[in-house]
Amino acid sequence: MNKHLINWVVVASSLCFSTAFAATGEQWQVTTKAEMAGMPMAMPETTMTLCLQKGAEKDPKQMMKQDGECKITDMKTAGNHTTWKMRCDRNGDVMNGTGEVTNKTGSYQGVTKLSGKSEGHDINMTANFNGKRIGTACDTSAAPVVAVQGMENMNDMMGMAKSQMASAMAEQCEVSNFKAVELISSRFFGDSAACPGKEKFACKAIAKDAVRNVEVYVKLSKHDDTSDVSIAKTCGINMAAATKSICAKVDDSNHEELADYCPNEAKSFAVQRSYSSTPRSTSVITDNPVGNAIDSAKKLKGMFGF
């Protein structure tokens, strides 16, 4: 799973934990359940015991995370129900969403929803939360004593996700899993290669097939013609020699594909195909014994009128 998805799950899980502390407060127990497509396993339900300033449960701006990542706007309250819009910016990845909370005496429950993109990945998250007042007085100016149930499971899940990411990346970067034509990619070449350190092994496979496989030769040629990174140069492939070898393999099945690289060889096949596709004269039937017999019968019919 993409590491950025993990980061956003952490944001979603922490949105409803207060970061505002005053002098006198009350202990609350806040439970959050975050869900997001693409996670390797379900997010664990997280419960936190924390000290909220009195009345903070009725003010989402105090409850929601206000540390530069997420900002609350357009807050509207009708009775005990409050809605708002939110915008979260994490390392340049922007997410927009909504939230709502319903307050009751000594408790509240609500939901936040965020959507956007992170490095091209669509992200849609939902975090359901509820809080209940424990009632114990606490000093919010001191470091809060926080007990989190499920956080160990969350850490385990994060570790599993990272392990799965590493395993998936290792599989995606294993050169032996790809055909030579598939190795001609920015995945293995260039400063931004997703699989750095694999050039040597990719080069070996590409160089081997570039002189004998038309598909590999053509893709390599097109890549180097349109990219700032020359794979042929990186791999030390002699393209003149490769072209000579490939042009010797021009035939009726590939002459059109190789026309730009082997114009002389391809031209001869194009001429042959043009000749073979030209309609032949009906006079050719005279070369056929059956045709001769038919022609003779027609002539006799004309002579004797039958």
Confidence bin at 282 (pLDDT 50/70/90): very low
CA 22 vs. chain centroid, Å, equals 44
> Within this chain, do residues 87 and 204 fall inside the same structural domain, yes or no?
no
Percent of the chain exceeding pLDDT 70 equals 65
> Within this chain, do residues 16 and 161 fall inside the same structural domain, yes or no?
yes
> Within this chain, do residues 134 and 193 fall inside the same structural domain, yes or no?
no
Q: Whole-structure pTM over 0.75, yes or no?
A: no
Residue range(s) defining the domain that contains residue 160: 3-168
For residues 296 and 246, the model is more confident at 246
> Within this chain, do residues 39 and 156 fall inside the same structural domain, yes or no?
yes
Check whether 236 has a pLDDT greater than 70.
yes
| Coil/strand/helix, residue 212 | coil
> Within this chain, do residues 15 and 65 fall inside the same structural domain, yes or no?
yes
> Within this chain, do residues 34 and 110 fall inside the same structural domain, yes or no?
yes
CA–CA gap between residue 12 and residue 43 (Å, rounded): 11
Q: Confirm whether 263 is domain-assigned.
A: no
Which of 34-38, 95-99, 105-109, 143-147 is least confident? Answer: 143-147
Cβ burial of 254 (10 Å; 0-12, 13-18, 19+) is middle
> Within this chain, do residues 132 and 31 fall inside the same structural domain, yes or no?
yes
Domains of the chain: total: 2
- Between the ranges 18-27, 67-76, 295-304, where is the mean pLDDT highest? 67-76
CA–CA gap between residue 144 and residue 242 (Å, rounded): 70
pLDDT digits over 68-127, tens only? 567 888 989 999 899 989 888 776 778 899 989 998 888 999 898 988 887 677 888 888
> Within this chain, do residues 128 and 188 fall inside the same structural domain, yes or no?
no
